[in-house]
Amino acid sequence: MSVQTELWQGQFDKLFIGGEWVKPSSEATFEVIAPATEEVLARVAEGTEADIDAAVAAARTAFDSGPWPRMELAERIAVLTRVSEALTARQDEVARLISAEMGCPITLSTRMQSMGTRMLLDAFLELAPQYQWSDIRRSVTGNALVTREPVGVVAAVVPWNAPLQIAIIKLAPALLAGCTAILKPSPETAMSAYLLAEIFEQAGLPAGVVNVVVAGREVSEHLVRHRGVDKVSFTGSTAAGRRIAAICGEDLRRVTLELGGKSAAILLDDTALDVAVPIIRALSLRNTGQVCSNKTRIVVARSLRDELYDRLREMAVSMPVGDPFDPATEIGPLVSRGQRERVESFIADARADGNKVLVGGGRPEGLDRGWYVQPTIFADVDPNARIAQEEVFGPVLTVHTFDTEAEAIEIANNSDYGLNGSVFAADPAHALAVARHIRTGTVELNGTPAGFFAPLGGFKNSGIGREAGLEGFDAYVESKSYGLPQSLLDTLA
DSSP letters for 289-357: G--TT-EEEEEEEGGGHHHHHHHHHHHHHTS-BS-TTSTT-SB---SSHHHHHHHHHHHHHHHHTTPEE
Write the pLDDT tens digit of every residue in 20-56.
Answer: 999 999 999 999 999 999 999 999 999 999 999 999 9
SS3 71: coil
Strand partners for 135: 146
pLDDT in tens, 365-420: 999 999 999 999 999 999 999 999 999 999 999 999 999 999 999 999 999 999 99
Is pLDDT at 1 greater than 50 in this prediction? no
Nearest-angstrom CA–CA distance, 47 and 34: 21
- Sign of the Cα torsion 231, 259, 34, 340 reads positive
pLDDT at 80 over 50: yes
289 contacts 395 by C-beta, under 8 angstroms: yes
3-state class (DSSP) for residue 73: helix
- Residue-wise pLDDT for 279-309, tens only, equals 999 999 999 999 999 999 999 999 999 999 9
Cα 146 from Cα 129, distance rounded (Å): 17
Question: Do 159 and 186 touch, CB atoms closer than 8 A?
Answer: yes
Amino acid at 345: S
Q: Which of 46, 101, 188, 258 is catalytic?
A: 258
The pLDDT score that the predictor gives to residue 10 is 78
Judge whether residue 317 has pLDDT over 80. Answer: yes
On the question of pLDDT at 87 being above 60, the answer is yes
Residue 2 pLDDT more than 50?
A: no
pLDDT in tens, 93-148: 999 999 999 999 999 999 999 999 999 999 999 999 999 999 999 999 999 999 99
Give me the percent of the chain exceeding a pLDDT of 90.
Answer: 96
Considering 101, 188, 292, 330, which one is annotated as catalytic?
292
Under a CB-based contact definition with an 8 Å cutoff, are residues 63 and 153 in contact?
Answer: yes
Q: Identify the CA nearest to 101 among candidates 12, 32, 24.
A: 32
The answer, yes or no, to whether residue 212 has pLDDT greater than 90, is yes
pTM of the model: 0.96
- b/e for 75-93, b at 16 or more Cβ within 10 A? ebbebbebbbebbeebbee
How many whole angstroms from its chain centre is CA 37?
A: 25
| Rounded-to-integer distance, Cα 33 and Cα 19, Å | 28
The residues facing 266 across adjacent strands are 299, 423
Confidence of residue 5 (pLDDT cuts 50, 70, 90): very low
* Structural domains present in the chain: 3-259+462-480 (3.40.605.10), 263-451 (3.40.309.10)
**Residue 492, pLDDT score:** 84
Q: What radius of gyration, in Å, describes the C-alpha atoms of the chain?
A: 23
Residue of 145, 206, 156, 255 lying closest to 488 (CA atoms): 145
pLDDT beyond 80 at 184 = yes
Question: Residue 6 — pLDDT band, cuts 50, 70, 90?
Answer: low
Instruction: Please give the Cα distance from 396 to 236 (Å, whole number).
Output: 19
248 is an active site residue: no
Residue 292 bears catalytic tag:
yes
Q: Sorting pLDDT into bands at 50, 70 and 90, what band is 7?
A: confident
What whole-number distance in Å separates Cα of residue 163 and Cα of residue 422?
25
Lowest mean pLDDT among 90-104, 239-253, 431-445, 479-493: 479-493
Is residue 178 a contact partner of residue 76, using CB atoms and an 8 Å limit? yes
What torsion do the CA atoms of 221, 225, 228, 231 make, to the nearest 10 degrees? 90
Which pLDDT score is estimated for 145?
96
Q: What is the pLDDT of residues 406-465, one digit of tens each?
A: 999 999 999 999 999 999 999 999 999 999 999 999 999 999 999 999 999 999 999 999
Going by their DSSP bridges, the two strands 444-445 and 421-424 should be labelled as parallel
Predicted pLDDT of residue 3: 53
| Burial group, residue 260, by CB count within 10 angstroms (0-12, 13-18, 19+) | buried
Distance between CA 358 and CA 306 in Å, rounded?
11
